[in-house]
Amino acid sequence: MRDPDALIARAGVRGDPERDQHFLVDDRVLDRLPGHLPDRADRTHVLEIGGGTGALTDRLLGTADRVTVVERDQTLAAFLTEEFADAIEAGRLEVIGGDALEIDLPAFTASVSNLPYGISSEIAFRLLPAGRPLVLTFQREFAERMVAEPGSDEYGRLSVTAGHYADIEIVETVPREAFSPPPAVESAVVRATPKEPEYAVPDDETFMAIVRAVFTQRRKTMRNAIRNTTHISGIDDPEAVIEAAGEELARKRAGNVSPESFARLARIAAEVGTE
């Protein structure tokens, strides 16, 4: 496997915190990342967001049939194209120079990525709805919010929406020193295994809008949060929704409401809360 420090040297670059560039250089972590995919994951076409200098790309080529890397830094994209010319020529690697938030992502069977922290949430919610296994590196605090349970301080919109698409688990924490340059915070590796939710929603858009709305006022009771956020939730008749939801739910705060209860609320809103 290619040495991460040697790759950085050959690329002639340095990570730039101002541009959200922290290269993962710990061989042990890099070697483990592809193995965190579920055992039965389809490795036919693995997507990597933020290829950097290619240390993870190199490991993925060792376990996947085909890899597509998206890298927004054009200098790094050009380096990856040169460094992995043999794999590109063999049809096993494609390097896309572009912003993963703006380009059309290719169809993929799994994704393993050391994500730029500044776009973690946006990228996660581009990937999760695809229903594919994911292994993603985030800031530890962000990862802990993804796996949080109702009633905990970390539980919020992120917990509900991530859990809607997949079983989320933290599979390892990564110290600052594993990166060059070290970020200000610890990181964590998250595995997302796709699942169908155990509850019914009228549609994902309605469900997500209601979750997003009430968590903007998480300190208020659900009764007041529903009343105050109709411009976000799209609910036309909040009083009808509150009445149909019942007093037990209405007096709770969002941080204590389970995903199943949010789904019930979305169904109620679709039935009685829209004109």
Convert the pLDDT of each residue in 183-234 to its tens digit. Answer: 999 999 999 999 999 999 999 999 999 999 999 999 999 999 999 999 999 9
- pLDDT value at 273 more than 70: no
The whole-angstrom separation of Cα 95 and Cα 210 is 38
CATH numbers and ranges of domains, the chain: 4-194 (3.40.50.150), 204-272 (1.10.8)
What is the percent of the chain with per-residue pLDDT over 70, rounded to a whole number? 99
CA separation for the pair 159, 173 (Å, rounded):
18
Annotated binding site for S-adenosyl-L-methionine: 22, 24, 50, 71, 99, 114
Confidence of residue 117 (pLDDT cuts 50, 70, 90): confident
Q: Are 254 and 223 in contact (CB under 8 A)?
A: no
Please count the other Cβ atoms lying within 10 Å of the Cβ belonging to residue 252: 19
Tokens of 211: 């979750």
Q: Please give the annotated binding residues, written as ranges.
A: 22, 24, 50, 71, 99, 114
In single-letter form, the type of residue at position 257 comes to V
Q: Identify whether the C-beta of residue 151 lies closer than 8 Å to the C-beta of residue 115.
A: no
What percent of the chain lies above the pLDDT cut of 90?
92
Give the up-direction half-sphere exposure of residue 3: CA atoms within 13 A in the CB hemisphere: 4
d(CA 24, CA 162): 25
Is 80 exceeded by the pLDDT of residue 17? Answer: no
Q: Give the pLDDT of residue 21.
A: 83
**What CA–CA distance (Å, rounded) separates 160 from 259?**
6
What is the pLDDT confidence band of residue 118, given thresholds at 50, 70 and 90? confident
* Whether residue 275 has pLDDT greater than 70: no
Look at residue 10 and give its three-state secondary structure: helix
